[in-house]
Structure 1
Amino acid sequence: MALFLLAFGVWSWLLWPTFLRNILGDEQSWSNGSPTAFLWVHVVIAVVSLVLGTVIGVLGWRAHRANRRS
Structure 2
Amino acid sequence: MKLTRRASLFLLAFAVWTWLIWPNFMLNIAKDPRSFAESGAPTTFFTVHLVLVLTSLALGTVIGVIGWRGFRADRADRAASSTD
TM-score, with structure 2 as normaliser: 0.81
Amino acid corresponding to residue 49 of structure 2 in structure 1: H
Rounded to whole Å, the distance in 1 between the matches of 2:48 and 2:9 is 31
Once the two structures are superposed, the pairs formed by residues 1-70 of structure 1 within 5 Å of their partners are 1-32=7-38, 33-70=40-77
Rounded to whole Å, the distance in 2 between the matches of 1:39 and 1:53 is 21
RMSD: 0.6
Q: What's the offset of the Cα at 1:30? A: 1.0
Larger strand proportion, structure 1 or 2?
1
Amino acid corresponding to residue 9 of structure 1 in structure 2: A
> Which structure 1 segments of 5+ residues have no match?
none
Larger radius of gyration: 2
SS in 2 for 1:27: coil
- Over residues 11-40 of structure 1, what are the superposed CA-to-partner deviations in whole Å (9 max), with x where a residue is unaligned? 110001000111011001011111100000
Rounded to whole Å, the distance in 1 between the matches of 2:14 and 2:64 is 6
Rounded to whole Å, the distance in 1 between the matches of 2:57 and 2:27 is 14
Larger helix proportion, structure 1 or 2?
1
Q: What's the offset of the Cα at 1:61? A: 0.5
Aligned residues: 70
